[in-house]
Chain A
Amino acid sequence: MNVRKQWFIFVAMLRANLLGYGGGPPTIPLIHKEVVQTYKWMDDEEFSDIVALANTLPGPIVTKLSGYIGHRIGGTIGMLNAIVAAVFPTAILTILLVGTLASFQDVPVVEGMTAAIAPVVGVLLIVMTYNFLKQSKQSVGFWSTFFLTLVSLIVLEWLNIHPAILIVALMVIAFSRKPKPSSEQEQAQKGS
């Protein structure tokens, strides 16, 4: 085992994740900086292939990227190493911070603090809601988004069907539809 290399993997992933606020999109360029520029483990093309792949799969993006890159550079130990660096420090911080707050929950000042958090969390979630609706409109248009939103609302909140079932069903439907030629392909055909 190359200890030096494993240490670099750990440092690279730790640095990228500690500086990356707000999950995937802000962290990916930081990982790119470490992996492509600082340590030169791979070129731009390979890195963008890995990001594209990570985006086609579900689950958190950053852990897929870190784990995959760790595996590519340092084998199974590299993978575990990268995941530990990416995940553990911030998970432990969350446990300490929220745990401390919870143990003082009857103190009036802390009660006031937790009361003020709920509306702010609501705003953060509304902003995410808006972003997902915007992305949906960009990819399937306004009316499909409207219809899908209405169907989801009925299925999830009124019929109380588990969201996983709805998501898998919608993926199967989308996959089995005959794809429309994209505008790029149309242009290519016109050009030829």
Chain B
Amino acid sequence: MIFWNLFVAFLIPGVVGYGGGPASIPLIEHEVVRRYGWMSTQEFGEVLAFGNALPGPIATKMAGFIGYDVAGIPGALVAIFATVAPSLAAMLLLMKILLKYKDHPRVKNMTSFIRAPIAVLLGVLAFQFFFMSWEGAGWLQTGILVGASLLLLEKFNVHPALVILGSLIYGAVVLS
């Protein structure tokens, strides 16, 4: 049963997550935190932060960790399989048809409406993290960390892995 739930939880983001890794993050959160309650939003944020600090595809790193956390190595394999297999199978099977229709206007338009709902999911999740930090570390520390990381990421183009590392050091020194 747990393996079936893991399979479904990672199958859905793999099937409706248009726009690569970032699009599947809030969909994974919806299954893992809201629907199945396998972890808290805080824990999900930690996995996301470390997933972001490491190289490679984000969705499979999340699947690997969450699957392992819920049901050990078989759990990790099931979650990774559910993330990778459906869209890869579709690509292998539909190659010829897709090549023929990939420039068809209807096919091109198909995903034009779904960026907004994915933005809503990402935005709501972002505010959950801000609110959690407000309650935990207080508004001053939250403001400092949000301001500094926004500035470093967007204005000075510092690598996300370095920003996350910096925040860990800041937290270890200032917030402990």
Contacts and interface: CB of A to CB of B under 8 A. Distances in A.
Contacts of A123: 126, 146, 149-150, 153
B57 A63 contact: yes
Contacts, number: 355
Interface residues of B, number: 106
B5 interface: no
Nearest to A126: B126
A97 B54 contact: yes
Contact of A174 (B25, B51, B113, B160): B113
B45 A63 contact: no
A128 interface: yes
Question: Which of A86, A115, A129 neighbours the largest number of chain B CB atoms within 10 Å of its CB?
Answer: A115
A27 to B, nearest CB: 7
A149 B80 CA distance: 31
Given A64-B88, A91-B64, A113 B109 contact: no
B98 A148 contact: no
A122 B127 contact: yes
Contact of A152 (B12, B51, B57, B120): B120
Given A122-B133, A125-B129, A167-B16, A60 B57 contact: yes
Interface in A109-134: 109-133
Given A87-B84, A145-B116, A121 B18 contact: no
B167 to A, nearest CB: 4
Nearest to A112: B176
A191 interface: no
Interface string B35-59: 0000000110111111110111111
B11 to A, nearest CB: 10
Given A58-B17, A59-B59, A115-B175, A68 B88 contact: yes
Given A23-B21, A53-B98, A98-B47, A136 B115 contact: yes
Contact of B54 (A94, A113, A144): A94
B109 A177 contact: yes
Interface residues of A, number: 98
Contact of B116 (A57, A86, A89, A132): A132
A167 B18 contact: yes
Nearest to A171: B110
B65 interface: yes
Interface string B73-101: 00010001001101110111001001100
A44 interface: no
Given A152-B117, A175-B109, A23 B91 contact: no
A21 B61 CA distance: 12
A156 interface: yes
A61 B21 CA distance: 7
B173 interface: yes
23 contacts: A19-B55, A58-B14, A59-B87, A60-B57, A64-B91, A68-B92, A87-B56, A88-B64, A90-B64, A91-B56, A93-B61, A97-B54, A98-B46, A98-B47, A116-B168, A116-B174, A117-B45, A117-B171, A118-B136, A144-B113, A174-B114, A175-B110, A182-B105
